[in-house]
Homo-oligomer: A and B are copies of this chain.
Amino acid sequence: MSAAEETAEPHDDTAKPWGEVTPEAARKLLVAAVEAFAERGYHATTTRDIAGRAGMSPAALYIHYKTKEELLHRISRIGHDKALEILQAAAGGPGTAAERLDGAVRSFVRWHAERHTTARVVQYELDALSDEHRAEIIELRRRSDTAVRRILNDGVKAGEFDVPDVPGTTLAVLSLCIDVARWFNAQGRRTPDEVGALYADLVLRMVAAQK
């Protein structure tokens, strides 16, 4: 990070979701793009729509971003960084494998529910990225997979878990959590916390050793 960069925000990016995006106009455009992409999908969203939601002219977009695809990449990159951070924090934390798996699923699911607008873009618009940008993102996803697999392996080694197929179960756990972004509805009956608790319970049952 360059010392010349000046931010009014303290180093808490969880309080203000897109706090790392500056200046203000660039953030407004990015937030507008997240909403539009989540609602209609990347390809069905026009640059005029994004600019309009941000209260600016279509040309303003190109002062802060080179192309529409770069906007998607910035969103995807920041979102994947956050998702990976959540999983790695849970995987590397203290506690038994069961406790860490519970924490990982709970917080990962809560993020997908709470920020389901962002998550929908992050998880379901990968195909719209350029080859280079997609490769960069896929590497982040590989690391997410590694973090979860580590918890499962630890649990098996410790005798806490009974998991015949660790790679397959890792895939299933991540898939289950990610798909929350697709169906979660903020107006629905369940809160993000409730979904997180339910899913953590279901996942723990999937891997639990028989007693």
Interface residues of A in 89-134 (CB under 8 A from B): 124, 127-128
Q: How far is the CB of A157 from chain B (nearest CB, A)?
A: 20
Nearest chain B residue, comparing its CB with the CB of A44: B43
Q: Is A147 an interface residue (CB 8 A)?
A: no
Task: Give bound CA distance, A182 to B41, whole Å.
Answer: 16
Identify which of A128, A165, A172, A201 gathers the most chain B CB atoms within 10 Å of its CB: A172
The listed residue (B128, B169, B175) touching A179 by CB distance below 8 A is B175
Stretch at the interface among A16-24, A60-68, A202-210: A202-210
As for how many copies of this chain the complex holds, the number is: 2
B127 touches A198 (CB 8 A): no
B169 touches A202 (CB 8 A): yes
A172 touches B165 (CB 8 A): no
A202 touches B127 (CB 8 A): no
Task: Give bound CA distance, A13 to B104, whole Å.
Answer: 43
- Given contacts A206-B205, A206-B206, A183 and B175 within 8 Å (CB-CB): yes
B128 touches A44 (CB 8 A): yes
Closest 4 CB pairs of A and B: A43-B43, A179-B179, A43-B44, A175-B179
